[in-house]
């Protein structure tokens, strides 16, 4: 009886051990991970890469241009509202602007604001224009002992190159189409300085304002009134 019980217990242990091993094996199989697929390979797009590089280069160029523009900009004087020739320039007539200035131009720097205010406009200053040294003067126009006279000139009565403010000229009386100079007569002429030139519509006529000594102003006015007058430009060398 004892031998049979011992044999039965051993057989039970073998059967239990076998079940346990099978269970353990089943549990191990349940924890086994599924295989993971490798990540997809990214396809390179040459056009996209080239566009990205181009965008970076363009941004760099824009940054360089902006830096250069700011670095080359200058604070200069400009006209806020129109100032007519001879008028005194006030602080309200001027404004300070920051612009990139062409080397050919010579606008007055903002630091000269105090010296410009109180002076007179040497010519008409249009709103929005830059102020140069030639635009302002300390003298009244016309000055003491001088007179300003307007002379109307038909096409062909002045040089084709035109006139500029400050030109030294001679006002010459012409005999007209039917007039003739007699032997020994001298051509009347008066020296003057151009202070302004204005076109007079589609006729091609130009009005030239000149400065002359006040004693000669009546003669210039009389010559201009006949319509038989021309202007000769003398040397511009100083």
Q: What's the confidence (pLDDT) of residue 24?
A: 47
The DSSP call for residue 83 is B
Mean pLDDT, residues 58-84: 74
Could you tell me the pLDDT band of residue 178, with boundaries at 50, 70 and 90?
A: low
Could you tell me the pLDDT band of residue 234, with boundaries at 50, 70 and 90?
A: confident
Question: Hey, where are the domains in the chain?
Answer: 71-137, 146-176+187-233
Nearest Cα to 94, choosing from 106, 108, 80, 84? 80
Could you tell me the pLDDT band of residue 23, with boundaries at 50, 70 and 90?
A: very low
- DSSP, residue by residue, 85-134: TTPBP-GGGEEEEEEE--TT--BPBGGGHHHHTTSEESS-B-TTPBPBGG
Q: What's the confidence (pLDDT) of residue 25?
A: 46
Q: Say which range, 43-57, 138-152, 165-179, 223-237, has the weakest mean pLDDT.
A: 43-57
Q: What's the confidence (pLDDT) of residue 26?
A: 46
C-alpha distances in angstroms, 203 versus 149, 153, 162? 21, 11, 16
Strand partners, 109: 76
Q: Rg of the chain's alpha carbons, rounded to an integer?
A: 48
CA distance 209 to 85: 12
Q: What's the confidence (pLDDT) of residue 74?
A: 83
Q: What is the pTM of this model?
A: 0.50
Residues making up the chain, counted from first to last: 238
Domain 71-137 has CATH 3.40.50.410: no
Could you tell me the pLDDT band of residue 38, with boundaries at 50, 70 and 90?
A: low
Report the mean per-residue pLDDT for the chain: 76
Q: Is the pLDDT of residue 106 over 80?
A: yes
Q: What's the confidence (pLDDT) of residue 92?
A: 93
Query: What is the C-alpha end-to-end distance of the chain, expressed in Å?
Result: 150
């Amino acid at each position: 009886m004892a031998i049979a019980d011992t044999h039965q217990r051993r057989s039970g242990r073998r059967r239990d051990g076998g079940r346990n091993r099978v269970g353990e094996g089943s549990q191990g199989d349940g924890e086994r991970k599924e295989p993971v697929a490798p990540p997809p390979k990214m396809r390179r797009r040459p056009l996209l890469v080239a566009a990205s590089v181009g965008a970076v280069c363009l941004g760099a160029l824009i940054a360089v241009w902006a830096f250069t523009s700011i670095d080359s900009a200058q604070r200069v004087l400009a006209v806020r509202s129109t100032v007519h020739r001879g008028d005194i320039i006030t602080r309200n007539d001027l404004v300070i602007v920051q612009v990139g200035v062409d080397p050919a131009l010579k606008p007055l720097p903002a630091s000269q604001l105090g010296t410009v205010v109180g002076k007179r406009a040497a010519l008409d200053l249009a709103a929005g224009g830059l102020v140069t040294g030639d635009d302002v003067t300390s003298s009244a126009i016309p000055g003491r002992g001088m007179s300003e006279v307007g002379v109307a000139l038909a096409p062909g009565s002045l040089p084709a190159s035109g006139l500029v403010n400050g030109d030294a000229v001679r006002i010459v009386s012409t005999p007209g189409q039917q007039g003739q100079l007699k032997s020994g007569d001298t051509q009347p002429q008066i020296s003057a300085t151009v202070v302004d030139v204005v076109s007079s519509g589609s006729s091609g006529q130009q009005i030239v304002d000149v400065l002359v000594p006040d004693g000669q102003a009546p003669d210039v006015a009389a010559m201009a009134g006949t319509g038989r007058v021309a202007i000769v430009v003398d040397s511009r060398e100083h």
